[in-house]
Chain A
Amino acid sequence: MKQIRLFVIVFMVLFTNPTFAQITSPAMIEYLNQKRAESPFTGHYTLKETEAAYCMMNDSVVLDECKIRVEYAAKIVLDTVANFKCNDVVVVDIGNSVQKFYSYIWWRRNMNYTLFELKLEDEQVGIPKSKFQPAIDYAIFRDLQKRKLISHHQLYGSKKQIFEYEEDFPQFEWQLSADTITIQGYVCQKAEADFRGRRWTVWFTPEIPIDGGLWKFNGLPGLILRAYDTSEHFYFDLQSISHPQQTGICLYKNKTKRMTRDKYRELEHKIFQAPFSPYDGIAVMNRETGKHEWLPADWSMPYNPIERE
């Protein structure tokens, strides 16, 4: 749609319903800011980073000691129409009883907001925009004892608030293939499975007998070093494996709203479908004319979730 080229939600009309602050996911804010840089339009009012979602990272509990850290380069298509791709770095911290999957870029962003909030961080000279954008705006904790996945999502406007849902380790019907490939010296074997609306191809190495780690993948006898869906909207590729020194797997304490996975999906879907429906519309300024233009209230955001069902 042409409106996709228009960018940011400009005027939060004054008399809005404060509970509907969760307009969109932080990744989308990033996306929109990116779009703004490309489009001929500029906002009269730009979203300050601190207005996006963030959680505080000053209060945390260490769940486990991180024995192994795996980093993946993630390339994620947020907008399938414009084929807009994000570069993220995702991390898997592996402990004896807990694993945590999260975006390093998003972690850093939260950390910056926290430092900013606590007045510990200040602006630095001439630092350019990073080529990385956080596309994974959630963390997944894996409780190996209870065999549960706990997802922590952040949504726009949900300052210092987490949306949490829990689920059992999902079942993947992996089909092994005899294809092998060497990634960074590790011999990997190919496996494929359908999961929640996407067909995934993964390359795992039996040389590192760790199950899980990456995202919600589960049930393989080795660490996944590369994973992608058939459309390649989501592509994870090994960046590094290391034994970090004295690193904890942290849970950052924030106000947490617990719900079921279905409820959460409903909420997220609703937001992407009609983010501005409670408003009269959204004003954007056309950089060419210098005049304001209005986006219709039924404008919907590009939505390309990793789980389609």
Chain B
Amino acid sequence: MRIYLLLLFVLGTVLNASAQVIISGETRDAKSKQGVAGVNVMLQDVQRRVMYGYSISNDKGEYSITYKGQADSLQVVVTGFNIKQQSHLIVARTQRIDFNIEYEEMKIREVTVLAKSVERQSDTIVYNVSSYANVTDRSIGDVLRKMPGISVATSGEVKYNGLAINKFYVEGMDMLEGRYGIATNNIQAKDIARVELYENHQPIKALKDLVDSDRAAINLRLKDSAKGAWNGTIQAGAGYKPWMWNGEASIMFFGRKFQTLNVYKTNNAGNDVARELTSFYGGFGSSSSMLGVHFPTTPNLAESRFLNNKIHTVSTNAITKLNDDLELTVNAHYAHDYQTAEGESRTIYYLPDNQLMTINERTTSSRKYDQTEASLQLRANTNKYYLREQLSFNGRWDDDSGIVNSNDEITNQYLKQPRISARNLFSYVRRWERWSLSVDSDTDYNNQQARLRILPMLYDDVIDTSEEYPNAEQTMYSQHFRSSNSISTAYTVSRWSFMLSARLNADIENMESELMAMSDSYATLAAGDQMKNDINWQRYDLILSPTIRYSAGDKLSANIGMPVDLFAISSKDYVRKDNLRRNNVALQPFVSLNATLLPELKFTGRASYFENYGGLYDSYAGYIMSDYRVISNRVSEQSKIARQSYSASLSYGSTLRALFGSINASYWRQKSNLMYGVTYEGSLSRTTATLMDNYSSGYNIGGTLSKRFDAIASTFSLSGVYTNSSTEVLRQEVLMPLQSEMTTLGASVNTRFSKALRLNYTADYVSSRSRVDDRSLSPIERVQQTATLDLIIRNKLICRVGGEHYFNSAIGGDDRNMFFLDAGITYKSKRVDYVLDMRNLMDVSSFSSASQSDITDYMYTYRLRPASVMFTVKFSLR
């Protein structure tokens, strides 16, 4: 029977050779000889490009393929899931072939279709980090800079289309608030999957569609592997000239209910790591200080070129969800730094009648400070309500000293200045369908005590110095209490919303100051009344502000508001037994318009008028010495400023074209009732206020543009601003009109020549010119260019060469153009990076520059860090 069949087979083969070929047989287990089901047997051409036919073996392991083609020979290929592939070249004739099947674990080449580098989902723009990141990036901040539309300033502040962002989330949680530099500098790029950008982001969900925002927010989306796992890095480095250290440790965790980020950093290599602890949202913090040791002006260079520091910073942050709605945030930061600086300067003051006054100074100074801040915050943010209660404490202890050699006269200065403040913030918003209610309260207390000692006092005409008391001591104490409380309600009917808010502010400050003659053993003589202040200043405001909002869906919204500020100011001068009381009304009307012209194109316009009255430091009769050669008082009427401003901007973000840009223009005009004039008596300057209406105005036009080319992994950015302002200045009791113009242009390119060679280039150009009293001052042009070239070998070894060029037209001679050269080698293994950094290879020892402000020219030289080398090892915990 079997033979018959075989005969039939052979016969059939011969008869149909040209028409039809049948390949059949069995697939058997090589060991057990049992039939194997599900094996693919394929007939392909000899080159194995095209499949002519195939069969999948049945339960018994049988297969059969019919071929109707013309080819003489064929490839039979046997494949299957977890089956070792085999192929045989056969003659194209009907035949029976059995295969012995062997097994092997199937391995495939993993592939992922790269997601688009940037995509838009209504008001959210999603950047896929993998499209931007490469092996040269250390932290997510390095990657953010390459995303079109996003820019990161040197300070670490993140902007979208030229406007600073208003929130920075990690996985939707706001742990760091304005100190998001801690996140951008310490979260590794490889842990982030996507960066989401929310345009026109209103962080308080209950105020959505009620209060507009022109700011964007950023949310980092972690890779699954980085979620819910502890992660961190440890870094240690040492270098020479001078002997340097550089250490960092970070540990972080990002879970669904709990996040924490903790960082310790220290170095004396010129890296001001305290900068990442500054809040970009501003507002709160120690009040600025009036007194100071004379410091040389810092050069307009990368900080690591000149900063001499010994810094330690610690930051610990955590956020946890207490229940569905409530989250608790704890932040604590501490910084200690000791900085020294050395420089020379020449200041030229243009005085009326074409006179010049020149001051030469050689300055050596040091700054030592300890700063700490701690805050505790409870927050709920839902569509129905918002609750925030935040308590924070801030302390800063400054201990500065300096020596100035001015025209061969030497002055020593010592400043001690402790400042502490505490703040409570409370906010509650409740939203119903048509109604909403908000209650806000912001209260802070600030205490500051400053003592500046000058040895010796140069100007004996100011205070009665004698041989026994040749020095001076300036003290200043201030206690400042502020509280701002408001209640507001809004009612929405169809497209209209009506809002009314009442705000009650209290602002109370006591300030005492005294400028005394001091002996070498720090004994002081009581100061005369002219050198003393003891002022109690109080201001109470009741601000009623009605606002009407019209909104047409997501397309358009307009706001008009008319805040009326009823206020009472009282100022008591206990030294001069003066009392000043003033009750007044100030108006602060505004109109704003937000429109979405296209999904990619948004317009914002705003016009506002604003009146403000001066505070304590706008009027004090006793002299205060704020610097060894600056002494001033401000005797005047209450200062009053009225300012009108208009601004309009267009913001464009097309993810399809990967093109982002913005244009903005603004105009302002201000009227002041006081003129602050500076008079010079030798090197000593006095600031006095004179009652004299004066006007200033200005406008600026700016724009940004950035474009991503995915094919060449490149981002190109351009930006420019032109500012024109006119104002009036008082010099030697003569009023002079001053007009200044400034043009700023910037360009940056991040591109690659090949996979192994990358270039990062930035260029900035600043041109400023001014005219005073019809006299044109010499214009100053500055150019700064930075280029780094990375050679990447096997994704493991990175060789970096960097150069910087600075040009300043105001400097004569060789220092007009300055060049710096750096180089570095990084070797990356899975968890450890080895970095060798060489800075300032050409050993440029000082920086010279010139600048122009108001009607002064200022030239200075600053001592730079020498050529140095640093070796760093960085471990990644995961």
Q: How far is the CA of A281 from the CA of B121 in the complex (A)?
A: 34
A2 near B: Cβ within 8 Å?
Answer: no
Secondary structure of the A contact surface, majority rule: loop
Cβ–Cβ < 8 Å partners of A12 in chain B: none
16 examples of A-B residue contacts, CB within 8 angstroms:
A68-B106, A125-B173, A125-B205, A126-B167, A128-B122, A128-B124, A128-B196, A131-B119, A184-B113, A186-B109, A186-B111, A206-B77, A219-B56, A220-B54, A221-B41, A238-B113
Binary per-residue interface labels of chain B (807-832) against chain A in the complex, 1 for a CB within 8 Å, 0 otherwise: 00000000000000000000000000
Measured CB to CB, the closest approach of chain B to A122, in angstroms, equals: 4
On whether the beta carbons of B108 and A221 are closer than 8 Å, the reply is: no
On whether the beta carbons of B108 and A122 are closer than 8 Å, the reply is: no
Q: For B171, give the chain A residue with the smallest CB separation.
A: A124
Cβ–Cβ < 8 Å partners of A242 in chain B: 110, 112
Binary per-residue interface labels of chain A (237-253) against chain B in the complex, 1 for a CB within 8 Å, 0 otherwise: 11111110000000000
Partner-contacting stretch, out of A49-57, A156-164, A207-215, A292-300? A207-215
Instruction: Point out which of A125, A131, A176, A241 has the most chain B C-beta atoms below 10 A from its C-beta.
Output: A125
Interface residues of B in 40-96 (CB under 8 A from A): 40-42, 44, 49-54, 56, 77, 79-83, 85
Cβ–Cβ < 8 Å partners of B82 in chain A: 96
State how many residues of chain B have any CB contact under 8 Å with chain A.
53
Given the contacts A122-B324, A176-B51, A221-B42, A241 and B122 also touching, CB distance less than 8 Å: no
On whether the beta carbons of A206 and B110 are closer than 8 Å, the reply is: no
Interface residues of A in 198-231 (CB under 8 A from B): 206, 208-211, 219-222
Cβ–Cβ < 8 Å partners of A47 in chain B: none
On whether the beta carbons of A126 and B325 are closer than 8 Å, the reply is: no
On whether the beta carbons of B85 and A239 are closer than 8 Å, the reply is: no
Binary per-residue interface labels of chain B (114-136) against chain A in the complex, 1 for a CB within 8 Å, 0 otherwise: 00000101111000000000000
Q: How large is the interface on A (under 10, 10 to 19, 20 to 34, 35 or more residues)?
A: 35 or more
Q: Which of A126, A219, A290 contacts B198 (CB 8 A)?
A: A126
Beyond known contacts A125-B169, A125-B174: 19 more, CB 8 A cutoff: A73-B113, A119-B324, A122-B324, A122-B325, A126-B172, A126-B201, A126-B203, A126-B219, A128-B122, A131-B119, A176-B51, A184-B113, A206-B51, A211-B56, A211-B81, A221-B51, A222-B79, A238-B111, A242-B110
B424 near A: Cβ within 8 Å?
Answer: no
Measured CB to CB, the closest approach of chain A to B39, in angstroms, equals: 9
A59 near B: Cβ within 8 Å?
Answer: no
Cβ–Cβ < 8 Å partners of A260 in chain B: none
On whether the beta carbons of B198 and A180 are closer than 8 Å, the reply is: no
Binary per-residue interface labels of chain A (123-165) against chain B in the complex, 1 for a CB within 8 Å, 0 otherwise: 1111111110000000000001000000000000000000000
Cβ–Cβ < 8 Å partners of A68 in chain B: 106, 108
Binary per-residue interface labels of chain B (721-762) against chain A in the complex, 1 for a CB within 8 Å, 0 otherwise: 000000000000000000000000000000000000000000
On whether the beta carbons of B106 and A221 are closer than 8 Å, the reply is: no
On whether the beta carbons of A239 and B217 are closer than 8 Å, the reply is: no
Cβ–Cβ < 8 Å partners of A124 in chain B: 171-173
Cβ–Cβ < 8 Å partners of A127 in chain B: 172, 219
Q: How far is the CA of A184 from the CA of B113 in the complex (A)?
A: 7
Cβ–Cβ < 8 Å partners of A290 in chain B: 494
On whether the beta carbons of B51 and A239 are closer than 8 Å, the reply is: no
Q: Which of B54, B124, B171, B217 contacts A221 (CB 8 A)?
A: B54
Q: How far is the CA of A140 from the CA of B109 in the complex (A)?
A: 25
On whether the beta carbons of A210 and B123 are closer than 8 Å, the reply is: no
B418 near A: Cβ within 8 Å?
Answer: no
Cβ–Cβ < 8 Å partners of A189 in chain B: 50-51
Q: Which of A129, A184, A220 contacts B121 (CB 8 A)?
A: A129
Given the contacts A96-B82, A126-B203, A180-B49, A209 and B112 also touching, CB distance less than 8 Å: no
On whether the beta carbons of B79 and A185 are closer than 8 Å, the reply is: no
Cβ–Cβ < 8 Å partners of A219 in chain B: 56
Q: How far is the CA of A290 from the CA of B40 in the complex (A)?
A: 64
